[in-house]
Amino acid sequence: MAGPYESPARTGVLVGILAISMFFAALTSALVIRQGGAADWVRFQLPSILFVNTLVLIVSSGTLELGRRRLGRDVASPSGRALLYATLGLGLVFLAGQIMAWRDLVAQGLYLATGPSSAFFYLFTVLHALHVVGGLIALAYVSVRVARGAGPSPLNAVAAAAMYWHFMLALWVYLLLVLWMRV
Amino acid sequence: MADEVKGGADYPRETAQMVTALKHVPPQSFLRKHVFSLDHKVIGKQYLDLGLLAVTTGMVLSWIMRYHLAWPNGKLFWLGGGGIITPEYYLQLMTMHGTIMVFFVLTTAPFAGFGNFVLPLQVGAEDMAFPRFNMMSFWVTFVAFLVLVAAFFVPEGPALSGWTAYAPLSAVGSAAGPGQGMGQTLWAISIAIFCVGQLLGSLNFIATTLDLRTKGMTLARLPFVTWAWFITSVIGLIAFSVLLPACILLVLDRVAGTSFFIPGGLVISDAMQPHSGGSPLLWQHLFWFFGHPEVYIAILPGFGIISTIIPVFARKPLLGPKVLISCLVAIAFLSYTVWGHHMFLSGMNPLSATIFSVPTLIITIPATIVTLLWLGTIYGSKIRFTTSMLFCLGFVSVFISGGISGFFLAQPSIDSVLHATYFVVAHFHFVMGVAAMFGIFAGTYFWFPKMYGRMMNETLGKWHFALTFLGVYAIFMPMHYLGLAGNVRRYAAFTDDYMVSFQPVHKFITIAALFTGAVQLLFFINLYWSRRHGPVATDNPWEATSLEWSTSSPPPFDNFGGTHIVVHHGPDLYGVAGAKGDYVMQASAEPEPAPAFALKK
């Protein structure tokens, strides 16, 4: 049980990942049943900016992983810290991109209640974005702890936040695939 | 250092505890001490107080329902509106009774209440892994309760769609009648908030059990009740993660005009509803995927509580401890495969019904094994008949009584006859409601000395047990016969049809319910009087072995007075020949006794 890097933060994130996975699995099953059960499902073109956003999120995962490794070697590493800030910035860019995607849908006249396909699109993207906001808050918190440099080592917290952030990427890729296939 | 004790904590785990300890400075202000406390012991008591408030509310609602069922023309003027209980109002009472009892009593008290207070003590930690999340968990749950009861004060009152809130009734809004406006929206929001609270709680329970165990506390040495809370938190984590999005979809259907659960062409009061293509069955599937595991969220902590308490008062180790834990894990797993048995009447394909029926029957096997383990443990032992033990024995009794009817209901052909009758009301009240309540009572009488440093009055406690035990049988046993005779449930009154002849039985049940309710005053008096005036409790008044009994009553803020307690034994060393007393505490440095337990004859 007790691995050498075990910490409550890591366990907490793993457990959180399980809960969030179940949350989106339930929504996916709802989508599949809702689509299969009625003839009112209208497909539409996904906003192309989603693919740019995906790229941004992939890069942010990379910067965070790189930052985490540098901080692991030297907790005071300035480049490690800079990479954390870069991840925060890229996270914000991702959210801005998602807002543009919603505006794109609105411009097409597709609102939450327009039809089930647009409803699930908004649901998936908004709920994912809320979880990303949670990740940004966690990253901001660990960035402050790293910047302060005092108190207990922030490395466990950085590792936990990084695990969550990578999961946000994996979750997004999954949701995008579901939307791409179904919407 | 780490290798001295089997399963000892290694360096990082100790670091984690030290970090917790650093953050864990005793608070000074009243607010941080008693209201927004980070201390798991205070939070546990807060959860139990919330459970007490909720159970009182839920019980009063049931009295009004029972009064109306027995005397349909009687008036309760204090309710306002001329004191008349309309059928709609009856359904609102029923909905709120069920919701409050299932969520805010049976989930909060045995799991979040006792779990919060006892689990960190039993694993030897100074607090939960995430004290802030823990505090949020309670206050979020409290807000959920306020949002739910606020429905009594909105126009047209609370929801009337039952605790299961079936769509489309729950989804179409006020067009569906009284209570289906703001009251139902508040219901859905309250349950969504509740889910968040329980997810935070489950997260804490899992991380604390895995990461904050003290030196020597291997998984195999965890007391059974901590195992039960751990398994319950895993079930809860998955179940509430599914109910939360279901509630979000329901709220959107109600306020944002979406059609997840509302079908097309739905006409209510001659008005076509502006929805299309939704699936009412989708709600049922999502709800019961949560709903059936919820039954085990309510009852598994009770399993754990009595599996921990029975050996204490039988002075004998529990029969088959590994079998018990395997059964709990099996129940947890199977609980996710049986949800369709709540939907046999939904027009489901008979083949699907059979597929859900088989695991429903299979799940009775581990439940039966666990019951046999309790009975086998009691067999041949010299029982110490404390109030707590009496409630454990009562638990076994009502669990068997309620469980046996489950064998019948698991079969679709029988269930289709009995599902809408009082037979089901009797079944789930016994097996889930009363059994879980007996677990709560057993836990209260057992851990009260640790919580408040004083003993409860045993004489009052025994009267409380005896009268409650008789009362619950008087209430729920006749309901089986009513159900078999065709008495449908959810009706507000039985005045002008074939069910008129059941009326004397309903009067008997109502009198029994009011009597049993009144008996609970003994419990309340005991609870509040003993907090101040009960005899002072020693550290280990029951001669039990787990870690909470190795610290003072009540425990200090950091649980073990600044020391890192070390565990040397399993939790079940009772009836040990040659030990001081007849037991060996988990934290005792005595050598491990020989495996053969010589029972005193």
**According to the model, what pLDDT value does residue A47 have?**
95
Interface residue B219 vs chain A (CB under 8 A)? yes
d(CA B447, CA B335): 29
Q: Which of B151, B154, B235, B137 is nearest to B195 (CA)?
A: B137
Interface residue A112 vs chain B (CB under 8 A)? yes
Given a cut of 70, is residue B7 above it in pLDDT?
Answer: no
B581, part of any domain: no
- The CATH number that applies at residue B469 is 1.20.210.10
Average pLDDT over residues B576-599: 77
Given a cut of 80, is residue B393 above it in pLDDT?
Answer: yes
**Residue holding tokens 């050996």?**
B311
pLDDT tens-digit series, residues B262-279: 999 999 989 999 888 999
**According to the model, what pLDDT value does residue B595 have?**
59
Beta bridge partners of B79: none
Interface residue B197 vs chain A (CB under 8 A)? no
d(CA B180, CA B407): 35
- Going from the N-terminus, what domains does chain A have, and what CATH number goes with each? 8-32+47-182 (1.20.120.80)
Interface residue B595 vs chain A (CB under 8 A)? no
- B interface test, pick of A5, A7, A118 with most B CB neighbours within 10 Å: A7
**According to the model, what pLDDT value does residue B106 have?**
97
Given a cut of 90, is residue A81 above it in pLDDT?
Answer: yes
- Which one of A2, A38, A152 has the shortest CB-CB distance to B13? A2
**According to the model, what pLDDT value does residue A6 have?**
59
Distance from CA of B233 to the nearest CA of A (A): 11
- Reported pTM: 0.93
Distance from CA of B69 to the nearest CA of A (A): 39
Distance from CA of B474 to the nearest CA of A (A): 41
Contact B159, B54 (CB under 8 A): no
Given a cut of 70, is residue B341 above it in pLDDT?
Answer: yes
Average pLDDT over residues A122-150: 94
Beta bridge partners of B581: none
> Buried b / exposed e across B379-395, counting CB within 10 Å, b at 16+?
eebeeeebbbbbbbbbb
Average pLDDT over residues B23-48: 87
Given a cut of 80, is residue B417 above it in pLDDT?
Answer: yes
For B271, the 3-state DSSP assignment is strand
Lowest mean pLDDT among B459-463, B547-551, B597-601: B597-601
Average pLDDT over residues B463-472: 98
Q: What is the mean pLDDT of chain B?
A: 92
**According to the model, what pLDDT value does residue B348 have?**
87
Six-digit token pair at B488? 């449908």
**Residue B433 DSSP class:** I
Cβ separation of A20 and B244 shorter than 8 Å?
no
pLDDT tens-digit series, residues B50-97: 999 999 999 999 999 999 999 998 888 888 778 889 999 999 999 999
Interface residue A1 vs chain B (CB under 8 A)? yes
**According to the model, what pLDDT value does residue B501 have?**
93
HSE-up of residue B441 (Cα within 13 Å, Cβ side) = 32
Average pLDDT over residues A1-9: 56
Average pLDDT over residues B471-490: 96
d(CA B33, CA B36): 7
Given a cut of 80, is residue B342 above it in pLDDT?
Answer: yes
**According to the model, what pLDDT value does residue B386 have?**
98
> Which residues in chain A have Cβ-Cβ distances shorter than 8 Å to B20?
8
d(CA B306, CA B246): 34
B583, part of any domain: no
Interface residue A7 vs chain B (CB under 8 A)? yes
- How does residue B5 score in pLDDT terms, banded at 50, 70 and 90? very low
B133, part of any domain: yes
Distance from CA of B524 to the nearest CA of A (A): 38
Q: What is the mean pLDDT of chain A?
A: 93
Q: What is the ipTM of this complex?
A: 0.94
Given a cut of 70, is residue B596 above it in pLDDT?
Answer: no
**According to the model, what pLDDT value does residue B245 have?**
97
> Which residues in chain A have Cβ-Cβ distances shorter than 8 Å to B208?
8
pLDDT tens-digit series, residues B149-193: 999 999 889 999 999 999 999 999 988 888 899 999 999 999 999
pLDDT tens-digit series, residues B92-138: 999 999 999 999 999 999 999 999 999 999 999 999 999 999 999 99
Q: Number of Cβ pairs closer than 8 Å across A and B?
A: 124
d(CA B2, CA B18): 16
HSE-up of residue B498 (Cα within 13 Å, Cβ side) = 5
pLDDT tens-digit series, residues B225-274: 999 999 999 999 999 999 999 999 999 999 999 999 999 999 998 999 98
- Share above pLDDT 70 across residues of chain A, in percent, rounded to a whole number: 96
- How does residue A183 score in pLDDT terms, banded at 50, 70 and 90? confident
**According to the model, what pLDDT value does residue A1 have?**
36
B5, part of any domain: no
In B256-275, the residues whose Cβ lies within 8 Å of chain A are: 256-260, 263-264
Given a cut of 90, is residue B15 above it in pLDDT?
Answer: no
B401, part of any domain: yes
Given a cut of 60, is residue B24 above it in pLDDT?
Answer: no
Q: How many domains does chain B have?
A: 1
Average pLDDT over residues B350-368: 93
B81, part of any domain: yes
B7, part of any domain: no
Cβ separation of A34 and B211 shorter than 8 Å?
no
For A100, the 3-state DSSP assignment is helix
> Which residues in chain A have Cβ-Cβ distances shorter than 8 Å to B129?
8, 11-12
Interface residue B248 vs chain A (CB under 8 A)? yes
d(CA B150, CA B177): 18
> Between vectors from CA B344 to CA B342 and to CA B347, what angle results, nearest 5°?
130
Cβ separation of B277 and A37 shorter than 8 Å?
yes
**According to the model, what pLDDT value does residue B78 have?**
83
> Which residues in chain B have Cβ-Cβ distances shorter than 8 Å to A130?
none
Range of the domain at B445: 46-262+278-550
Interface residue B17 vs chain A (CB under 8 A)? no
B238, part of any domain: yes
Average pLDDT over residues B143-149: 98
Q: By CA distance, what is A42's nearest residue in B? A: B277
Average pLDDT over residues B523-541: 96
